[in-house]
Amino acid sequence: KNQVEQSPQSLIILEGKNCTLQCNYTVSPFSNLRWYKQDTGRGPVSLTIMTFSENTKSNGRYTATLDADTKQSSLHITASQLSDSASYICVVSLNNAGNMLTFGGGTRLMVKP
């Protein structure tokens, strides 16, 4: 069964601190892995997309890594801000067509002042 597991389920950090969110997947075949940020009551917004040949990709203070051998990905947030408080969802795509996505349960991040 294709699965995407994220950890931790929730996380509280102080403003300015760094944090790393984890994503393990058993999806096969694998096309690409995406990280989304979802603010409360809003739709997901794409942060990064990586294919199996990409090890790391950055988007501002967000840096995603991918190890296709161990089927693990991480999202590192640097110098957190209050606006980073949101759910972060790891999504694995089975194909390039973009119509077969497997969603992780998300990590709920709260950044406190």
Partner 1 sequence: GAVVSQHPSWVICKSGTSVKIECRSLDFQATTMFWYRQFPKQSLMLMATSNEGSKATYEQGVEKDKFLINHASLTLSTLTVTSAHPEDSSFYICSARVVYSGPSRYNEQFFGPGTRLTVL
Cα–Cα distance, 69 to 94 (Å, whole number): 16
- Please identify which residue in the block is written with the tokens 């300015």: 16
Nearer to partner 1, 13 or 101 (CB): 101
Q: How far is the CB of 94 from partner 1 (least distance, A)?
A: 11
Within 49-78, the residues that bind partner 1 by CB under 8 A are 49, 51
Q: Which of the ranges 12-20, 21-29, 72-80, 89-97 carries the binding residues for partner 1, by CB under 8 A?
A: 89-97
Q: What are the tokens at 42?
A: 């809003």
Contact 22, 87 (CB under 8 A): no
Cα–Cα distance, 104 to 58 (Å, whole number): 20
Contact 59, 35 (CB under 8 A): no
Q: Rule CB under 8 A: is residue 26 a binding residue for partner 1? A: no
List residues near partner 1 by CB under 8 A: 31-32, 36, 41-46, 49, 51, 89, 93, 96-99, 101, 103-106, 108
